[in-house]
Amino acid sequence: MINSKLKIHYIYHSCFAVETPNCFLVFDYYKEPDNNQESNLSKSFVLKDLITKQKNVLVFSSHSHHDHFNPAILEWEKYNQNIKYILSSDITLDSWKANYFKISQDEELFLKTKLEDAQNIPTSTEMNNELETVYIKAYGSTDIGISFFVKVDGINIFHAGDLNWWHWKEDSDEERKAAEENFKAEIDKIKGQPIDIAFFPVDPRLEEFYGIGAEYFIKEIALKTLIPMHFGDNSYITREFAEKNSKLPVKIVTITNPGEELKI
């Protein structure tokens, strides 16, 4: 059962904020929609305010593409000194600080955090029996960068970054075949890793092939909940995907507006 204290906020595109009992995670921040637009960020949700209030903030960027990494995230430590950045090794910075963690495919991190409730965190021999640990493993991508597996407060989270079955109609048959093989090879590496919540691309630019990667992921991985992402302003695709795959043995979350708290 997923922890009842878990909260997930959709920010935009592939960015989500995840509140667990002891940590606040932000994945692949790109931007927040213009508050003057009709489809604006929920007025009840202010990311800066949430970051300021949290004891342990972990900010992830899966790769350097502008829609997954915005350097503005590095300014957030002005709001909260207990912030750590977990950044794909393809991201280049002028300087690296002690709270910046560079990670490449197949690497692991064990990060210490301050506890709100020690009973929610299992012990870890890798951290000399420290209770306050978050486990992070970088898996591969079918674009640049990595994908993230994160175990925090007993919850297993996967953020795919740009890992997807990118079936572009304009590609040659050979390119489409290679894309399929590369994608399935990466999924094979994740098999056997139980996942409670996965954020995974469902990209309408792929037209009728928009969901083939997510569908394959659901069928191959021990997964409880899938949250679509990487759709820009086209949130309608999340409902279309959920309706199309209603018989699959997972919960598929639909998204309406940036800033909303998702029902999982």
Task: Judge whether 103 lies within some domain.
Answer: yes
Task: Judge whether 262 lies within some domain.
Answer: no
Which has more confidence, 131 or 94? 94
How many domains is the chain partitioned into structurally? Answer: 1
Tell me what percent of the residues of the chain surpass a pLDDT of 90.
81
- What CA–CA distance (Å, rounded) separates 58 from 33? 22
pLDDT reading at 8 higher than 60:
yes
Task: Judge whether 172 lies within some domain.
Answer: yes
Task: Judge whether 36 lies within some domain.
Answer: yes
* Domain interval for residue 19: 7-252
- From the list 154, 145, 222, 214, the residue with the least C-alpha distance to 190 is 222
Task: Judge whether 257 lies within some domain.
Answer: no
Residue 204: exposure state from Cβ atoms within 10 A (0-12, 13-18, ≥19): middle
pLDDT in tens, 97-156: 999 999 999 999 999 887 654 333 333 333 333 446 899 999 999 999 999 999 999 999
Task: Judge whether 258 lies within some domain.
Answer: no
Task: Specify the residue for token string 């991985």.
Answer: 221
Number of residues assigned to the chain: 264
Averaged pLDDT score across all residues of the chain:
90
Reduced to 3 states (helix: H, G, I; strand: E, B; else coil), residue 261 is strand
Q: What is the CATH number of the domain that holds 36?
A: 3.60.15.10
Which has more confidence, 112 or 90? 90
Task: Judge whether 124 lies within some domain.
Answer: yes
Q: What is the pLDDT of residue 42?
A: 58
Entry pTM: 0.91
Residues ≥6 apart with Cβ < 8 Å to 243: none
